[in-house]
Amino acid sequence: MPHPNDPSLRSFIPVDPSSDFPIQNLPYGVFSAADSSKPRVGVAIGEFVLDLAVLEDEGLLDLSPAYEVFAQPSLNAFMALGPAVWSRTRAAISALLREDNPRLRDDKPLRGRALLPRQDVTLHLPFRVAGYTDFYSSKEHATNVGVMFRGKDNALQPNWLHMPIGYNGRASTVVVSGTNVRRPRGQLKPPSADVPSFGPCKRLDFELEMGVVIGQPSRLGEMLTEAQAEAMIFGFVLLNDWSARDIQQWEYVPLGPFQAKAFATSISPWVVTREALEPFRIAGPVQDPVPLSYLQQKNAQNYDLALDVGLRAAGSNNAQSICRTNFKYMYWSSVQQLMHHASSGCAMSVGDLLGSGTISGPEKHQRGSLLEISWNGTEPIELDGGVKRSFLEDGDSLVMRGWCQGNGYRVGFGDVEGTIVAAD
């Protein structure tokens, strides 16, 4: 049987070459249909969602001895079954969708129940977020921010090249694409003011990131090898780490971001599996100095994954591209972030979400936040119709896309979109 990643595979469902969801992808999500039935797990294929609860009920997915893992409003139960089951299930789904397999293709009643037009379903948060940690692992991003606030000579803090820097964020405010984002309120103290005031954020920003979805736990007190860390990664989502720059600037000393990041984090509705991204693995930048031994990795742990950010200004109908970059630039890999996270003895849980940190590249058009794009508001960008932006205004929508380009197909994530609504 061919591997589910085989580029020659075709589904009986027609899939446009520009679709994010060919048979080589098969990302997992949680959806509900118009009949208001309960949210359940599905897989995106072309313009359809494949209802895995229906397939499981028909006995077409060998998940024994597990029971009803897909008739649930989150992926957590399935993820908890581990990498061997993830792989076996993906192979079974791939086989059922192949153009040369009559089992589902020729069973019209079953097809009618199991394949729903994607436009007719509502997508939900795909997994129960156990914990959310956000990193700061793009050297270009950290350097840009450092130059802005500390000058060229002290851009990178002395610890940055020695470990993936991060902070513990809020799991409670991770939302699925399409959820409106209310402008946060907080303490503001611009350098010109003597005392702080409380009010709506004036410097609302996005951060282009990828999120790692942890599918297996680690034990309290135990460190992880590279192979163990890799095996715990179920998949990836696109992630927007919305950020209130003015709140952040006043609050972040000495413990780092707090309320500036706590109000919302948006993720894509589809979790693309680590296995589906396998053909797009690529070595990351050379790490100098060589990391301490607990952080060393032997395998290529980055991904050649194109990223695009569009900004649809309030009142406009089209999103204009304001950033095009690639996940491959990340200095610290997701595997290193996970090894570092567990290195103290910190236990990881099924459903943990690790944000990569803002993904910027070496070029100006590759900057993954408005803070960098507008250089802290000093160089506003001009959009169609003469509209200028330094930061996000009420009614603005941000749309992120990400995909790995194969030969004649792409493995993508769908959009992550969010619209800013007024603070009150």
- Enumerate the active-site residues: 141
For 202-227, the DSSP string reads: SSEE--EEEEEEE-S---TT----HH
Task: Choose between 228 and 376: whose C-beta lies nearer to Mn ion.
Answer: 376
Identity of the residue numbered 395: G
Q: Catalogue the E-assigned strands of 144-184.
A: 166-168, 174-176, 181-182
Task: Choose between 262 and 339: whose C-beta lies nearer to Mn ion.
Answer: 262
The interface mask with Mn ion, positions 233-252, x = CB under 5 A, is --------x-----------
Tokens of 85: 């089951």
352 binds Mn ion (CB under 5 A): no
- Look at the block and give the residue holding tokens 């680590």: 274
417 binds Mn ion (CB under 5 A): no
Task: Choose between 133 and 302: whose C-beta lies nearer to Mn ion.
Answer: 133
Which single residue brings its beta carbon nearest to Mn ion?
A: 241
Task: Choose between 133 and 297: whose C-beta lies nearer to Mn ion.
Answer: 133
- Look at the block and give the residue holding tokens 């009142």: 315
- The pairing of strands 388-389 and 381-382 is antiparallel
Question: Residue 77 Cβ, how far from Mn ion at the closest point, in Å?
Answer: 29
Residues 365, 371, 374, 379: what is their CA dihedral angle, to the nearest 10 degrees? Answer: -140
Task: Choose between 43 and 201: whose C-beta lies nearer to Mn ion.
Answer: 201
Question: Residue 269 Cβ, how far from Mn ion at the closest point, in Å?
Answer: 20
Question: Residue 355 Cβ, how far from Mn ion at the closest point, in Å?
Answer: 5
Question: Residue 369 Cβ, how far from Mn ion at the closest point, in Å?
Answer: 8
Question: Residue 342 Cβ, how far from Mn ion at the closest point, in Å?
Answer: 20
Q: Comparing C-alpha atoms, which of 303, 334, 323, 329 is closest to residue 231?
A: 334
230 binds Mn ion (CB under 5 A): no
Q: Which of residues 201-220 bind Mn ion (CB under 5 A)?
A: 207
State yes or no: cis peptide before 254, omega within 30 of 0. yes
Q: Is 271 helix (H, G, I), strand (E, B) or coil?
A: strand
Question: Residue 166 Cβ, how far from Mn ion at the closest point, in Å?
Answer: 9
Tokens of 343: 């290195």
Residue 26: which residues within 8 A CB-CB, separation 6 or more?
4, 43, 44, 45, 90, 93, 94, 97, 273, 276
Question: Residue 421 Cβ, how far from Mn ion at the closest point, in Å?
Answer: 21
Tokens of 386: 């003469």
Distances (CA, A) of 196 to 8, 189, 339: 61, 4, 39
Q: Which of residues 129-158 bind Mn ion (CB under 5 A)?
A: 134
Quick count: other Cβ atoms within 10 Å of Cβ 159? Answer: 8
Task: Choose between 230 and 241: whose C-beta lies nearer to Mn ion.
Answer: 241
The interface mask with Mn ion, positions 166-205, x = CB under 5 A, is ----------------------------------------
Number of residues in contact with Mn ion, rule: CB under 5 A? Answer: 3
CA distance 224 to 295: 10
- The pairing of strands 233-240 and 204-205 is unpaired
Task: Choose between 203 and 410: whose C-beta lies nearer to Mn ion.
Answer: 203
Q: Which of residues 373-392 bind Mn ion (CB under 5 A)?
A: none
- Contacts with Mn ion, residue ranges (CB under 5 A): 134, 207, 241
